[in-house]
Amino acid sequence: MKKLVNSKVIDIDNIELFELGAEGLAMQSTTISKTSDGIDQDINSPIVQRYIKLYDIFLKSMPYPLYAIENDVKYATLANFIKQSVRDEIEIWVENGLFIKLEKDTGMSLHLINNTWSIEYIKQIKEDNTDIELFKDSVGYNEYKWVLDKVSHRETTKNFYKEFMPKFIEACNEEPMVINWELKNILTFSSIPNQIELKQNTIINIADDCEYSFDIFCNGTIETGEKALTWDFTGDDINSNIRNKVIRTYDFDSYIKKLTAGAKESDKMSKCNLIGLRNVFTQLCAIKNSNEMNKFPNFEGIIYDNYIAFTVDKRLYITKSNKLMEAIDIAHGVSIYSADSGKIYFIKSKQINQYISKDTIYSYTLKNGSIRMCKIQFSN
């Protein structure tokens, strides 16, 4: 992926590593070390301490984002280092972290994940699945294998970025402060304006500090030409009829509300006639009819640079505010984020677990319709 680094545009081939690293930091998976589990001081304490120490040595040797990532190849690499450092054969496997069996009869095992450990009692010991070659197709395989080779030979890993990101280091002029800043912002690909607070069933004009709303009403019925079978139960006999299907037609009045400076309370609403609002209304009618909905769907949107961007059921549409035209379907599963510099920004959120979501912010350039990823972030 191309990215601006220290005012230079370069390709970053391993951006997915940093995405996984940011996700790992957000999740902060930990085990729980309970004193009630205990460790038999006479049997297990020295070896457990050694396992933990070896694990910690290798974990601290990993550069960012390798140490933050939560995947099997990371723990397989840690397992290989521990096996190389311990003369005796050990039963070890990868499954949501790293497990090392301590006692055969009880199934007592050491569980290591992130920078934490716990003692757990495993009924069924898994087979050793820590051969690093099993993970050669995994993201980060080459990087983890390189670190394993360096640490196993007691060499430093400080040249990690030179090895795997030489153009990045060159763009940073090999200056540590610049490198650290760029690493912290590596998942930001362009500047993003502040997020706009939207309101349901309202179109906000972000430049004029006002908002528009609809009053939708039925204004009659029409026959569609489609035939419909009806049954008459009013008499002694039940009769059927085939008639043209009749549907209701709708129209709307639009209202403008000027926002009071420095507050969110508004002045009195008044009727208005902004042409482009009919484009929104027409799309709402189309969605209602195609989905045979009993009521009009909810929407929210903004006006920016003579365009209206609005969403209905996580679908983003864009149309003109100053003339009649069909709304263009831009993206699905997204919400409006902001607008600036000739672009509409929208966000796609994916729930990683019950606590963490992955948010990807994109920009849509109004002039040419191009879409670009701007930022990846993980939030609670």
**Residue 198 maps to a domain:** no
With bands split at pLDDT 50, 70 and 90, how would you rate the model's confidence at 179?
very high
What token pair was written down for 23?
């996700």
**Residues 235, 310 within the same domain:** yes
Kindly report the backbone phi and psi dihedral angles of residue 34, in degrees, each rounded to the nearest multiple of 5, phi listed first.
-95, 130
| CB 39, CB 31: distance < 8 Å | no
**Residue 196 maps to a domain:** no
The amino acid at residue 220 is: G
Report the number of distinct structural domains present in the chain: 2
**Residues 296, 149 within the same domain:** no
| Residue 175: how many other CB atoms lie within 10 Å | 12
Supply the pTM of this predicted model. 0.84
DSSP, collapsed to helix, strand or coil, labels residue 145 as: helix
The amino acid at residue 299 is: F
CA 13/CA 140 separation, integer angstroms: 11
The amino acid at residue 26 is: A
**Residues 282, 179 within the same domain:** no
With bands split at pLDDT 50, 70 and 90, how would you rate the model's confidence at 170?
very high
Among residues 113, 131, 136, which one has the least CA distance to residue 76? 131
**The last residue of a domain, from among 184, 217, 233:** 184
**Residues 53, 136 within the same domain:** yes
Whether 91 shows a pLDDT value over 80: the answer reads yes
| CB 126, CB 79: distance < 8 Å | no
Q: Which of 7-11, 228-232, 343-347 has the highest mean pLDDT?
A: 343-347
The HSE-up count of residue 71 (CA atoms within 13 Å, CB side) is 22
**Residue 194 maps to a domain:** no
**Residues 339, 211 within the same domain:** yes
CA 345/CA 174 separation, integer angstroms: 33
CA 43/CA 38 separation, integer angstroms: 12
**Residues 88, 172 within the same domain:** yes
With bands split at pLDDT 50, 70 and 90, how would you rate the model's confidence at 36?
very low
CA 211/CA 303 separation, integer angstroms: 9
Q: In terms of pLDDT, which residue wins out, 31 or 102? A: 102
**Residues 150, 219 within the same domain:** no
**Residue 195 maps to a domain:** no
**Residues 134, 245 within the same domain:** no
**Residues 24, 151 within the same domain:** yes
**Residues 92, 218 within the same domain:** no
The pLDDT, as a whole number, for residue 227 is: 67
CA 56/CA 81 separation, integer angstroms: 11
* Mean pLDDT score of the chain: 89
Q: What is the pLDDT of residues 282-332, one digit of tens each?
A: 999 999 988 989 899 999 999 999 999 999 999 999 999 999 999 999 999
CA 327/CA 78 separation, integer angstroms: 54
Domain assignment of residue 104, given as a range: 2-184
**Residues 361, 214 within the same domain:** yes
Kindly report the backbone phi and psi dihedral angles of residue 365, in degrees, each rounded to the nearest multiple of 5, phi listed first.
-80, 120
Using the 8-state DSSP alphabet, how is residue 264 labeled? S
Alpha helices in the chain (DSSP H): 15-27, 45-61, 72-85, 141-152, 160-164, 166-171, 176-184, 277-290
The amino acid at residue 47 is: I
What token pair was written down for 107?
């199934």
**The last residue of a domain, from among 184, 214, 233:** 184
Among residues 81, 116, 119, 79, which one has the least CA distance to residue 95? 79
**Residues 176, 214 within the same domain:** no
- What separation, in Å, do the N-terminal and C-terminal C-alpha atoms of the chain show? 26
With bands split at pLDDT 50, 70 and 90, how would you rate the model's confidence at 228?
low
